[in-house]
Amino acid sequence: MTVDRLDKQHSRPWLIFCLVVLLVGLILLLYLLRERNRTIAREEDQLLRKADIISKNTALNLESLNMLLDRLQHEPMLRSADPSYNKRFETLVSAMPGVRTMLVLDAQGIARISSRIELLGKNFSGRDYFTVPRQQNDDQLLYVSPPFSTSLNTYVINLSRLLRNPDGSFAGVVAASLDPDYFSTLLSSVLFAPDMVSALAHGDGLLFLMQPGPAKPLIGKNLAVPGSFFSRHRDSGKPRTVQSGTVYATGKRQMMAQVTSSPRR
């Protein structure tokens, strides 16, 4: 009986010690989990703020360009292919850093006015920014094309509005392309970590630009595949989302913030 009591007396401090260690461990675990959640929340917030910068700047450029195309759309002299418009378009492009090229195509898709003289007389009737406005036949439509490679070997997105003759018939389109150099600089400006990537994609899912430049040909890749971050963001209907996991475009595990940007009509 005496031996048993002694064993219990000696084991009690060890039991208390183990309980204290366990309690400290649980407290430390809860603290680490809380700090991890706080770190993730801060990272999500920072990524969303950077994505918002790109989104707002892009939207402002699209809205400004939309208003310009709307004004030009209602200028009767624009359909006369007056050569003075070539210089005017060149001046407009110089004044708008987000714009690379402006042009007017006639009803057959022939370039009659352009900020780049080398495009005059070329046939662009097969381009979406010409065919879609013609088919939609909507004066209020601002068409934002998927990215494509131009005849000048530049990957761009075009915005266009239709033109009408005095009798209401289709007269062509007035269009402008976004400057990839300007938006690449914008994408680079929000990077704050060496493993960070920023990108712009069209609403259809085609990747337009990425910074830093991709290690393999990713430009033009379709991100709108089932289960991709892009598809989940678009299907959510939310303007802003943050997701973590394997990025479809790069195959890397990362956190991604996405913000939808679109011009107001």
- Condensed to tens digits (0 to 9), the pLDDT of residues 27-46 reads 665 655 665 666 667 788 88
Q: Which residues contact 44 (CB under 8 A, 6 or more apart)?
A: 242, 255, 257
* Beta-strand pair 158-164/143-144: antiparallel
This prediction's pTM: 0.81
Does the pLDDT value for residue 3 go beyond 60?
Answer: no
Q: Tokens 């997701």 belong to which residue?
A: 243
pLDDT (average), residues 147-155: 85
Q: What is the pLDDT of residue 159?
A: 96
Out of 36-45, 50-59, 182-191, 252-261, pick the least confident: 36-45
Residue (of 76, 259, 72) closest to 166 by Cα position: 76
Out of 42-46, 81-85, 130-134, pick the least confident: 42-46
Q: What is the pLDDT of residue 6?
A: 47
Q: What is the pLDDT of residue 1?
A: 46
Q: What is the pLDDT of residue 196?
A: 87
Q: What is the pLDDT of residue 26?
A: 63
Does the pLDDT value for residue 4 go beyond 60?
Answer: no
Contact 63, 263 (CB under 8 A): yes
Q: What is the mean pLDDT of the chain?
A: 86
- The more confidently predicted of residues 3 and 141 is 141
Q: For the chain, which domains are there?
A: 62-180 (3.30.450.20)
Q: What is the pLDDT of residue 130?
A: 97
Question: 203-231 burial string, b = 16+ CB within 10 Å, else e?
Answer: eebbbbbbbeebeeeebebbbbeeebbbe
Residue (of 223, 212, 220) closest to 258 by Cα position: 223
pLDDT (average), residues 100-117: 96
